[in-house]
Amino acid sequence: MTISHSRGHQNNMNSYAKVFESLYFPATVSQCAAGTIEPPLATFKAPAEWYGFPPALIPIWSDGSRPTYIGAWKHWFMDREPTYIKMHVGAGRTTIEIARTVEQLFALAAMMSIGEKDGVESDLVNFAKAVGLQNLDQINAVSLISGDDARGLAMIDQFKNQTPLESAKAVGAYSGEFPLVSFDKLKPWWNSACSFEISQEILAVWPANLPKPAWIDDIGKDKIGLFNEYLGAGNLKCAWLTLNSTGWTIRDARTAISALNIRAKDSQFNLLVDAWLSIADESAGAY
C-alpha cells in the first residue's frame, strides 16, 4: 500500500463545503473542515490533506503524524444515518465510529486537546467558543479520571445518549448502525457495511454458516467486475459498498464513481462526487 499526500489539493477540499451544506450538517462542521475554525490540536490540519480515502469519508481534519482522518461518514443509496469516524490510513484505513452527533465530535476534540497539552489551553478555549462547547470544565475533570480511554467519554454529558461504538461499554448498550461483534439476523448490519468498517475482531468470529457479502468476502476479488455487475443490475447500494471496500486503485475508483454518478441522477450525490474527484489524486496509489 502506498501512503502519499498532496498539499496542492488542499484548496480543493473546500469543495466539500457544498457537501456538508447539502446534507444539512451544522455550519460549524463545514467551518472546521475549511479551517476557518482552527482545530484545537497542533497535529490536526484543515483543510485535510490527501492520503487516499474512499468517498464515504467526508473529511474534517487530517493528522499527518500517523496518518489519520477524522470526518463524517456517509453511506449513499441506503437508510443509514451519517456518523463521525476516525480512519487509520496506515492500518488498512480501518474506520472506527467515534461520535454520532456533532456535539460529541467537538467534545471529543476537546478531550484530545486536553490530553495532548495536559490541560485547557487558549486555543481550546477559542475552539469551544467558536463551536458552542460549554462544558470544558466537565471534560477536563473526566480526562483526569479516564485519560484517553474512549469509554470514559460516557461520563460526559454529550455522550450519555446515542453513545458511539468506540465509547460503548457493551455491545448491548449500542444503538447505532456500525458493525458489531454480534450477528443478530434481525439486525443484519453486514448487508449495509463496507470492508473498512469491519474490524479484524469481527472477521475472526464471523459464523461459518453466514455468507459474507461479495464486496467483503475476498479482499483480492476483482472489485471492478463486481462493481460493474451491481451497477448493471441497477443495485446502486451494493455498487457503492463495493466502491468503498478494499481493492481499488484511485484511477479505477475515479472511473467507477463517475459511472455511479451518471446512474444515480442525484444532485446531492453529484456534489459528493465532484468534491472527491477534485482531490482524489492518483499519487495515493490505492485503498
Mean pLDDT of 83-109: 97
**pLDDT tens digit string along 222-253?**
999 999 999 999 999 999 999 999 999 999 99
Q: Residue 6 has what pLDDT?
A: 44
Dihedral pair phi/psi, residue 51, rounded to 5°: -115, 5
- Residues 207-225 have a mean pLDDT of 88
The C-alpha atoms of residue 176 and residue 275 are separated, in whole angstroms, by 27
Widest CA span in the chain: 55
pLDDT score of 122 more than 90:
yes
- Which of 41-45, 125-129, 171-175, 192-196 shows the lowest per-residue confidence on average (mean pLDDT)? 171-175
- 259: cell is 459511472
Confidence of residue 172 (pLDDT cuts 50, 70, 90): confident
Residue labelled with grid coordinates 484517553? 148
CA distances 159 to 20, 70, 85, 126, 181, Å, are 23, 18, 15, 22, 21
Cα separation, 266 vs 169, whole angstroms: 38
Task: Render the burial of 12-50: b for 16+ CB within 10 Å, e for the rest.
Answer: bbbbbbbbbeeeebbebbbbbbbbebebbbeebbbbbbb
Cα torsion 101, 103, 108, 113 to 10°: value is 150
Whole-model pTM?
Answer: 0.93
Query: What mean pLDDT do residues 53-58 have?
Result: 98
When pLDDT is cut at 50, 70 and 90, the band that residue 77 belongs to is: very high
Domain extent listing, the chain: 8-173, 206-284
Task: Look at residues 57, 137, 127, 138 and name the one whose alpha carbon lies nearest to residue 98.
Answer: 57
Place of cell 476557518: 36
CB 174 within 8 A of CB 165: yes
Alpha carbon dihedral 263, 264, 268, 273, in 10-degree steps, equals -50
With cell 490510513, the residue in question is 89
C-alpha 194/C-alpha 192 separation (Å) is 7
Does the CA dihedral 107-109-114-115 come out positive or negative?
positive
> Which whole-number Å values give the CA distances from 277 to 150, 171, 252, 272, 287, in the listed order?
33, 37, 12, 9, 15
Query: Which of these ranges, 45-54, 210-219, 256-265, has the smallest mean pLDDT?
Result: 210-219
Higher pLDDT, 184 or 110: 110
**More confident of the two residues 198 and 66:** 198
Q: Which residue has the cell 447505532?
A: 176
DSSP 3-state percent helix, strand, coil across the chain (nearest 5):
50, 10, 40
